[in-house]
Amino acid sequence: MPTRISTDGKPVLTMPGAATLPEAAATMRAAVYRGSGRVDVEAIPVPEIGAGEILVQVETCGICHTDLKKIAYDLLEPPRVYGHETAGIVAAVGSAVKRFRRGDCVVVFHHIPCGECFYCHRKLFAQCPVYKKVGVTAGFEPAGGGFAQYVRVMDWIVERGVEKIPEGVSFDQACFVEPVNTCLKGFKQIDPQPEDTVAILGQGPIGLIFTMMAVRTGSRVIVTDSMASRRGLALSFGVQEAFNPMDESLEARMKSMTGGRGADLVIVAASAPGIVQQAVACSRPGARILLFAQTSHQERIEVSGADVCVAERAIFGSYSASVDLQKESADLVFRGALPVQDLITHRVTLNDIHSGIERALHPDEVSLKIVVQPQR
């Protein structure tokens, strides 16, 4: 009989496609954003689904900094239920749904493009008007909904934005499919080659996913982070050097490792004052610099025009996921090519989500990736 790994790490017996779930209750627990940085754990109605939709029982949802920014800076009108790195079990299916059945274990993307517009034809999916619509909700204005016990997955997401989780893959591991997709999209744009020296600035969960990818290419990888524990983890993944970004000799040490030139490629995987300027200073003329964490309209970047123009550097951005990379990113996670589960340091219940949010907003040496397990 097949096995499935539960959220507590213990194997449980399942039958493929079997209706092993209890019927969803009329109400559920959810962490509801109420404005002014406030999140309340409340009982709200379980979402109703339409003919082309599915209801997913959320087993694990990662806490992502994009959601934290929306909460901390009140970027969107309340009420909303955030959380978009969602893995769970199909609890109900609409009458028109053919690909999924009750009991399927799945990961859910909350954005899917139309495939037909000006931006989709140019593979700029995150700029598609349909992509900007959120297609997964726990209620209220759609906002991902993963910080709740159930989510409603709308029809255009069901069609192209849901991936089945293979047997033997835990929900904790599977919830990384969406963030891995976002990193893979940027990684393919910067395209490291074995002869390249790649500098990755910031070794939080996203920076470490980039590090895992870069090491696999055979490139020489150098990373920076202010926390010794994160530098140590990066070294265990195979990077050549891990520096403290506050080290005043960082630029000189980078150049001494590259024949006086600087890094060929730089990935900026954190947001901090001066980090883009540091990326330029550590890179060689002609280098390519990927901005991945600079998502705030309030953030301002000042670099010398000559450092870009005369030195022929290219600075570019990458944002959100690519539907074209959905299968590839799922495969990287499901077959264990990237040891993403090593990044999880804390698992919290919905009732404990405030401590999870606080720890994610103010990380320390022992915290890295924090996930919510709403069924506990």
Q: What structural domains does the chain harbor?
A: 3-176+338-372 (3.90.180.10), 181-317 (3.40.50.720)
- 360/66 Cα distance (integer angstroms): 11
Predicted confidence at residue 137, as pLDDT, reads 98
Instruction: Name the token pair of 133.
Output: 């619509």
Give me the count of residues in the chain: 376
- 73/54 Cα distance (integer angstroms): 32
Predicted confidence at residue 23, as pLDDT, reads 66
Residue 53 burial (CB count, 10 A): 23
Write the CA distances from 131 to 115, 135, 172, 220, integer angstroms. Answer: 9, 9, 26, 35
> Strands 314-317 and 283-291: what pairing?
parallel
Pick from 267, 126, 280: nearest CA to 189: 267
- 186/280 Cα distance (integer angstroms): 18
Instruction: Name the token pair of 31.
Output: 């962490």
Residue 186 burial (CB count, 10 A): 22
Predicted confidence at residue 298, as pLDDT, reads 86
Instruction: Name the token pair of 194.
Output: 């074995």
Instruction: Name the token pair of 358.
Output: 């606080």
The Cα angle at residue 54 between residues 51 and 57, in degrees rounded to 5: 150
Instruction: Per-residue pLDDT tens, the chain, 376 aa: give them.
Output: 233 444 444 333 333 333 345 666 799 999 999 999 999 999 999 999 999 999 999 999 999 999 999 999 999 999 999 999 999 999 999 999 999 999 999 999 999 999 999 999 999 999 999 999 999 999 999 999 999 999 999 999 999 999 999 999 999 999 999 999 999 999 999 999 999 999 999 999 999 999 999 999 999 999 999 999 999 999 999 999 999 999 999 999 999 999 999 999 999 999 999 999 999 999 999 999 999 999 988 899 999 999 999 999 999 999 999 999 999 999 999 999 999 999 999 999 999 999 999 999 999 999 999 999 999 9
Predicted confidence at residue 296, as pLDDT, reads 87
- Name the E strands within the chain: 3-5, 11-13, 27-35, 38-45, 54-62, 85-93, 105-108, 136-137, 150-153, 162-164, 197-201, 220-224, 241-243, 263-268, 283-291, 314-317, 344-348, 369-372
Residue 302 burial (CB count, 10 A): 7
Q: Which amino acid is at 133?
A: K
